[in-house]
Amino acid sequence: MQGSLLQRKVKSGGKNSMKRQSIDKIAKEFAADHPAVKKLKDVPVKRKLSALSKVLISGMLFIAAVAAVGLWMVKSQAGTITGNWMPSAILAEDLKALTAEYRILQYGHIVSGSEEDKKQYENEMEQLLAVIEERTAIYEDYIRKEKDRVLFEEAKKQWNTYLEVSSQ
């Protein structure tokens, strides 16, 4: 049984190789007789190389143009980030730190024993509130989207409520 399987493989391999040779022969004959191949054979090598180099240079120029447009888009986005997002993020972080410092001053005011210390804390809190209001006004100029403006107004409202409650 194994012998017959091996014999079938050899026979089928022989048939496939015959088919392959006949297909290759037909392809070579067809390619040689095709008018485009005949015309291409008649073109001098110098002209073929010139055409090939022009195609390659054109492709490279196209790639360079696409890359230049991509870089322009990156530069535009970088300008937006550095011109609007970064300053507003820095201001938001400053406001967060200033409000934390204000709360620390409030705590110091509450736990201080003398009236002099309380006056000192009150003066520092007033100065710090002025800085917070100034930074808040600057931050408000960077808001572009309506959604962000609504959130900012809500935060301002909450801050004012906090100041009213904490002053009592």
Does residue 158 surpass a pLDDT of 90?
yes
Taking the alpha carbons at both ends of the chain, their separation in whole angstroms is 104
Neighbour tally for 105: CB within 10 Å: 20
- Each residue's pLDDT tens digit, 25-60: 776 666 666 776 677 777 788 888 999 999 999 999
**113-154 confidence digits (pLDDT tens):** 888 888 999 999 999 999 999 999 998 888 888 998 999 999
Query: Which residue would you say has higher pLDDT here, 15 or 150?
Result: 150
CA-nearest of 139, 134, 142, 135 to 81 is 142
Among 5-9, 42-46, 61-65, which range has the highest average pLDDT?
61-65
CB 112 within 8 A of CB 118: yes
- Integer CA distances (angstroms), 148 to 35, 88, 145, in order: 69, 12, 5
Q: Which amino acid is at 97?
A: A
17 band by pLDDT with thresholds 50, 70 and 90: low
Question: What is the C-alpha radius of gyration for the chain, rounded to an integer number of angstroms?
Answer: 40
d(CA 104, CA 110): 10
Q: Is the Cβ–Cβ distance between 151 and 131 less than 8 Å?
A: no
* Other Cβ atoms within 10 Å of 139 Cβ, number: 20
Please check the confidence at residue 6 and state whether its pLDDT lies above 50. no
What value does the mean pLDDT of the chain take?
A: 83
pLDDT at 5: 44
